[in-house]
Amino acid sequence: MLVAASRIFSTRTPLFKPSLVRTHLPSASGYRFTFRSMADSAAASASSFNKIQIQRDDTTFDAYVVGKEDAPGIVVLQEWWGVDYEIKNHAVKISQLNPGFKALIPDLYRGKVGLDVAEAQHLMDGLDWQGAVKDIRASVNWLKANGSKKVGVTGFCMGGALSIASAVLVPEVDAVAAFYGVPSSELADPAQAKAPVQAHFGELDSFVGFSDVTAAKALEEKLKASGIPYEVHIYPGSAHAFMNRSPEGVKRRKGMGMPDEDAAAVELAWSRFQSWMTRFLST
């Protein structure tokens, strides 16, 4: 399967075109490309993350683990910002869902975090996508070697697209739940998914071809062709990144022209996520 994967996408294949992103996000001109390390990012909560290192091929990357030791595992993939407060919030939330999960965040950016749109764009443009898929596989296998009998993958925006790609390219994945992101055809074809996929999108999402309603419906047709169990949910009145509900996350979304707030949609999405992962990761 991994041999086939090398034919599906090439190194550094973009998840979506930078020009397409900039059509819908504030102008990047005038920003400085300054980065801060994970250690300087705002703390997600009082919950304690265990920082580990995972080796794969000729590289080592940091990962952050929270949750019950022998619980089913879930790899949690970052947005284009990097491993910041919001993705840590999501991992803590996941670890606390019944019946309990062990959440692991791999640091795909190797310690860098974007502080504004231009930096996030710069970091995402520089990501080695093939390497990111290898990071995901190594993370899944780490969880399986450390107490988790079954492991799912979830992600948001960039991480959502990578989550769906993992259903195609990482044979050890047992279930996927992706939020507002679809991989490019060069990265992975969802029609070839091997693991069950649940996907969540906002009706007002304006990332054309990546996470808008048209992309969501196209994904649904691909998943239908795959023959695996799937669900595609579209949330009325919600825009991109609607799951980000921390005060900092809400402020950032409003600054990017996404003023919608719908706590009910967020809770519904988490409920569906919980049911999906419990269904496929329970032993």
Return the structure tokens found at 166.
């993992």
pLDDT confidence tier of residue 7, bands split at 50, 70 and 90: very low
The sign of the torsion formed by the CA atoms of 107, 234, 15, 187 equals positive
* Chain mean pLDDT for the chain: 86
Quote the pTM value.
Answer: 0.86
pLDDT confidence tier of residue 47, bands split at 50, 70 and 90: low
Q: What angle do CA 269, 234, 106 make, to 5 degrees?
A: 50
pLDDT confidence tier of residue 43, bands split at 50, 70 and 90: very low
Sheet holding 151-156, edge to edge: 50-56, 59-67, 102-106, 73-77, 151-156, 175-179, 197-202, 230-235
* Domains of the chain from N-terminus onward: 2-281 (3.40.50.1820)
Across 34-38, 130-134, 257-261, 267-271, least confident range: 34-38
pLDDT tens-digit map of 245-255: 999 999 999 99
* Percentage of the chain lying above the pLDDT 70 cut: 83
Alpha carbons 14 and 282: distance in angstroms, whole number: 34
Nearest by Cα to 164 from 126, 194, 204, 128: 194
pLDDT tens-digit map of 202-217: 999 999 999 999 999 9
CB of 161 closer than 8 Å to CB of 181: yes
